[in-house]
C-alpha cells in the first residue's frame, strides 16, 4: 500500500492485515513511502524500483502460499 494513499489508507490496511493475521490468514503488508493509490499499476509516475519491489514481493508471497 502507498503511505500517501487517500483511497485506501495505510492505517486501514494495517488494521485489516492485523485482523487477518489474528484469524490465522497468511498476510503480509508493505507500506511504500510517498506512494499513492494504484502506484504499482503505472497510473501515476512511480519510481521503477518501487514498482519492481512491489511486484517481486507479491510474486514471492503467492509462490510461498500457493497450494497448486
The CA distance from 13 to 11, in Å, is 5
Which pLDDT does position 11 carry in this prediction?
95
Which pLDDT does position 44 carry in this prediction?
63
Which runs of E-coded beta strand occur in the chain?
none
Which pLDDT does position 10 carry in this prediction?
93
Mean pLDDT of successive 10-residue segments in the chain (68 residues)? 88 96 93 79 71 87 84
Asked if 34 and 3 count as a contact pair (C-beta separation under 8 A), the reply is: yes
Which pLDDT does position 68 carry in this prediction?
67
Amino acid at each position: 500500500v502507498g503511505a500517501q494513499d487517500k483511497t485506501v489508507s495505510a492505517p486501514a490496511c494495517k488494521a485489516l492485515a492485523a485482523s487477518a493475521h489474528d484469524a490465522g490468514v497468511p498476510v503480509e503488508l508493505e507500506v511504500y513511502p510517498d506512494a499513492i493509490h494504484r502506484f504499482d499499476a503505472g497510473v501515476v509516475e512511480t519510481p521503477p524500483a518501487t514498482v519492481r519491489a512491489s511486484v517481486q514481493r507479491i510474486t514471492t508471497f503467492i509462490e510461498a502460499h500457493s497450494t497448486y
